[in-house]
Structure formats: structure tokens, C-alpha cells
Amino acid sequence: MDAGSPDKDVSRVPDPLEDLLGYWLRRASTAMMADLGSSLAPADLRPTEATILILIRANPGLTQSDIGRVLGIARANMAPLMGGLLKRGFIQKSRVDGRSQSLALTELGVDKVCAAQTIIDAHEARFREGLDVALLPDMIAALRTLAGSET
């Protein structure tokens, strides 16, 4: 049996990573994002697109720059994301001043964000299922601290 065999018992292999916070954060993030991506696929949305639509629904009038700052997305990456959402008819722009344009959901965008929210709620419920509900607020607070956003 070679090392790559799915039948190899690795339960007794010493794991020097088992106490590394970053390792487990990465594993958890990878599992959650893979599940979210496959869950949103039937709605023809990627996780970042769904997140942007949810943010606009909660804060109509935000600018593209505002969204980039809130989500930590570089300006160069925001342009194609927003362009795709505009092209698909999910958002619309309105000029605020000289160069700034506020964003709002279209009717199609409202339908899409409602579908996305339902999918995300089910996704969150699946991952919270095995966790102690009483620990969730502290877990989220700790993750915010690690991410550098304690608000």
C-alpha cells in the first residue's frame, strides 16, 4: 500500500500541526468555502458575489470603493466583480457626485440576493450544527480579533 492510498490508516501518524491555530483556521475555512461555493452554484453565484449583493441590500447607496474597503477586496479586483453584477442586471449605479456612483439592487438583484440568503442560511446551519451554540459569540469575537476587525 503506497502513501497516497485512500486505505492507509493515518490515525496513528504523529501530527505536528494538531495544535496550530492557523492550520485549523485554514482547514475550517477551506471546508466552509468549498461547501458555500457548491451550494451557491445552482443560483449561478460565487460566494464573493453573494456577499456583495447582501452588503448592498443592507446598505443601499454604498459605492464600489466602500464595498471594497468593507470586504477587504483590492480596487483592481472590485472592477470585474462589479462589472459582472452590472452586466447580469443585479445592480444599478447612480451618480452621487463628480466620480462617485452609489449602488443599489435591481428587482432581479433583490430576487437573487433572497435566493442567496436562503442558501447561505442553510450553509451556516450545517456548519453550526456540531458546535456548542453558547460558544458561538466568543468564537466569532475571537475570529474578528484575529482578522483585525473587533467591531
Give the residue from 63, 66, 47, 54 showing the smallest Cα distance to 109. Answer: 54
pLDDT at site 151: 53
pLDDT of 70-93, one tens digit each?
999 999 999 999 999 999 999 999
- How many Å apart are CA 150 and CA 124, to the nearest integer? 21
Pairing of strands 101-105, 91-95: antiparallel
C-alpha distances out from residue 64 to 44, 91, 102, Å:
21, 11, 8
What would the pLDDT profile of 92-139 be if each residue is shown by its tens digit? 999 877 778 999 999 999 999 999 999 999 999 999 998 999 999 999
Tell me whether residue 45 is exposed, middle or buried, using C-beta atoms within 10 angstroms of its C-beta: 0 to 12, 13 to 18, 19 or more: buried
Give the C-alpha separation, 9 to 142, whole Å.
34
Q: What is the CATH number of domain 21-127?
A: 1.10.10.10
pLDDT value at residue 149: 67
Under the banding of pLDDT at 50, 70 and 90, the label for residue 4 is low
Domain ranges for the chain: 21-127
**Is residue 1 very low, low, confident or very high in pLDDT (cuts 50, 70, 90)?**
very low
Helix locations, the chain, DSSP H: 21-40, 47-58, 64-71, 75-87, 107-128, 136-147
Which triple of cell numbers denotes residue 83?
Answer: 462589472
Look up cell 479586483; give the residue: 77
